[in-house]
Amino acid sequence: MQVLGVVAVILAIYCVHATVYFREEFLDGDEWRSRWVNSKHKSDYGEWKLTAGNFYGDAEKDKGLQTSQDARFYATSARFEPFSNEGKSLVIQFSVKHEQKIDCGGGYVKVFPADLDQTAMHGESSYYIMFGPDICGYSTKKVHVIFNYKGKNHLIKKEIKCKDDELTHIYTLILNPDQTYEVKIDNEKVESGSLEEDWDFLPPKKIKDPEAKKPEDWDDRAKIDDADDTKPEEWDKPENIPDPDAKKPEDWDEDMDGEWEPPMIPNPEYKGEWKPKQIDNPNYKGSWVHPEIDNPEYSPDSTIYKFDSIGVLGLDLWQVKSGTIFDNFLITDDVKEAEDIANETWGVTKEPEKKMKQDQDDLKRKEEEEKTKEQATEADEDDEVDDEDEDLEEEEETKDDMEEILSLRSGHNTTWGHLYCSVGLQADVGELSFSFILVMILPFCP
Ligand SMILES: *[C@@H]1O[C@H](CO)[C@@H](O)[C@H](O)[C@H]1NC(C)=O
Ligand SMILES: *[C@@H]1O[C@H](CO)[C@@H](O)[C@H](O)[C@H]1NC(C)=O
């Protein structure tokens, strides 16, 4: 009995230790609509849909919020009891599934101060933290970790690659009161370090001493010309000489053609420009290193990690091809609890999800194989080869176009993003002519 009691007490202590500030797994049908608030900042935000998608591990548990319209901004958020992460770890975790083979779109969350006006949330609303994957074209495939410090957003200096397949992945950010952090994907560490080193929150600790100067007589030439070396007398030879084998053509007419001259050829004896031998410089002092001093602008801050009133989690995104599903949102102060929950949710459904996707892919491949077989027996062989070549070329072209559109487009989605197909033209045209161009080009959008 006594032993049981002790175990119970220990368990109780352990359990109260973890605080879950926010958890959302969309397990109660349409009820999520009462917890999530759509922004009304724009009139044409994309619609969110509750679904487990085309393939999943569990038809109910894997239901999450899915972006359902192409080339739209999305903005929704959920509120929780405000808290400060002072003196505690902060864990932000959620799962993302780009089942649509995403071309360009955000997959990240923003964590806001409690005073955010949710119905007015937009791309410029100030947030504490932005975290999660972002994909755009073939060049941007990264995990953002952005912290707001003294009113300014600071991006992580390290490049963290995100997942770009179609399966569900779970992303975790851990922020510790000792100002260290860790990023995990699928419950495995992919990056870690210290806030001070991996972001430019503070000015550098050391700077080059502005007083120090390289002494004028500092000799940093490792090698010098050998003064004893002289150019050999027979060195200088012309670069080109008349071809000794050339002969005046028999029908050469000096009156008509002028005096005959043999063509020039490179001189085999030509040695180029003479340079003296190099020897070690006896006065060499090595390269001069600028001495550093403590930066007077620098003062340490042990509260960079601290946010006073965390109160809203939001999805504020731009997506070209929709279909991303967000699920399993969690904000807690307990790293182990977050890992446990990830194991119990994503950890349990990831394998069956993969299996269902594989089965679907296999089926599709089989159907396509059968179709091509049928076509092959019908069509003339020569024609088919031609067609295939054309198809391949076309595919290459659309891929190039896409890349161009996507790379040009990014940078404009804050204001003009949904007009992404009119890239390049928008900067110098007025609003009126701009809309016209859009109508012209939209049909060619990928
Ligand atoms: C536009 O959206 C894409 C995808 O989320 C992102 O990579 C890019 O940085 C965004 N551009 C701007 C200016 O917000
Ligand atoms: C989560 O699952 C992994 C893989 O099965 C395991 O190694 C790890 O210990 C689990 N974590 C917790 C907190 O149970």
Ligand nearest to the CA of 162: 1
Q: Is the pLDDT of residue 416 over 60?
A: no
Question: What integer pLDDT is reported at residue 444 of this predicted model?
Answer: 37
pLDDT category, 250, cuts 50, 70, 90? confident
Which ligand lies nearest the alpha carbon of 337? 2
Query: Is-contact 290 212, C-beta < 8 A?
Result: yes
Residue 378 in this model has a pLDDT that exceeds 90:
no
Distance 184 CA to ligand 2 centre (A): 13
Whether 414 shows a pLDDT value over 70: the answer reads: no
Give which of 329, 323, 421 is closest to 105, Cα–Cα: 323
* 3-class secondary-structure state, position 96: strand
- CA 179 – ligand 1 centroid, Å: 28
Residue type, 231: K
Ligand 2 pocket residue status of 351, Cβ below 6 Å = no
Cβ atoms 154, 146 nearer than 8 A: yes
Most ligand 2 atoms within 8 A of CB, residue of 93, 340, 343, 344 to mutate? 343
53-72 tens-digit pLDDT:
999 999 999 999 999 999 99
Q: Where are the domains of the chain?
A: 19-205+303-352, 379-444
For 393-422, what is the mean pLDDT?
48
Q: What is the pLDDT of residue 392?
A: 56
Poorest-confidence range of 187-196, 251-260, 399-408, 424-433? Answer: 424-433
State if pTM tops 0.95. no
How high is the pLDDT of residue 271? 87
Determine what percent of the chain is predicted with pLDDT higher than 90. Answer: 71
- CATH for 19-205+303-352 is 2.60.120.200
The ligand that comes nearest to the alpha carbon of residue 334 is 2
Distance separating alpha carbons of residues 273 and 283, to the nearest angstrom: 27
Q: Is the pLDDT score of 200 beyond 80?
A: yes
Q: From CA 208, how far away is CA 206, in angstroms rounded?
A: 7
| Mean per-residue pLDDT of the chain | 86
Three-state SS at 326:
strand
Confidence of residue 412 (pLDDT cuts 50, 70, 90): low
Q: Tell me if 334 CB under 6 Å of ligand 2.
A: no
Q: For residue 147, what pLDDT is reported?
A: 98
Q: For atom 4 of ligand 1, which residue has the closest CA?
A: 105
Question: Is 60 exceeded by the pLDDT of residue 308?
Answer: yes
Q: What is the DSSP string of 166-232?
A: SSEEEEEEEE-TTSEEEEEETTEEEEEEEHHHHS--S--SEEE-TT----TT----SEEE-TT----
Rounded mean pLDDT, 164-193:
98
Residue with tokens 């260290």: 180
HSE-up of 355 (CA within 13 Å, CB side)?
7
Kindly report, residue by residue over 283-295, the tens digit of the pLDDT. 999 999 999 999 9
Per-residue pLDDT tens digits for 1-33: 555 555 555 555 555 579 999 999 999 999 999
Q: What percent of the chain has pLDDT over 70?
A: 81
Ligand 1 centroid distance, CA of 172 (Å)? 21
231 pLDDT higher than 80? yes
Q: Does ligand 1 lie within 6 Å of residue 54's CB atom?
A: no
- The answer to whether residue 379 scores a pLDDT higher than 70 is yes
- Looking at residue 5, its pLDDT comes to 56
pLDDT band at 257 (very low <50, low <70, confident <90, very high): confident
Could you report how far apart the first and last alpha carbons of the chain are, in Å? 69
What's the 411 CA to ligand 1 centre distance in angstroms? 6
Count the neighbouring beta carbons within 10 Å of the beta carbon of residue 135: 23
Q: Is the pLDDT of residue 442 over 70?
A: no
> Ligand 1 centroid vs 133 CA: distance in angstroms?
11
Give the CA angle between residues 363, 365, 370 to the nearest 5°: 95
Q: How far, in Å, is the centroid of ligand 2 from the Cα of 349?
A: 14
As annotated, the binding site for an alpha-D-glucoside includes 108, 110, 127, 134, 316
Predicted confidence (pLDDT) at residue 443 exceeds the cutoff of 70: no
What pLDDT is stored for residue 431 in this prediction? 41
Confidence of residue 354 (pLDDT cuts 50, 70, 90): very high
Which comes out higher in pLDDT, residue 175 or 426? 175
Residue 19 in contact with ligand 2 by CB distance below 6 A:
no
Q: For residue 98, which ligand has an atom nearest its CA? A: 1
**136 Cβ inside 6 Å of ligand 1:** yes
For residues 191 and 196, give the distance between their C-alpha atoms in angstroms, rounded to a whole number.
Answer: 15
pLDDT band at residue 256 under the 50/70/90 scheme: confident
Exposed, middle or buried, 367 (CB in 10 Å: 0-12/13-18/19+)? exposed
- CB of residue 413 inside a 6 A radius of ligand 1: yes
Q: Which two tokens stand for residue 63?
A: 């239901």
Please determine, for residue 234, whether its predicted confidence score (pLDDT) is greater than 80: yes
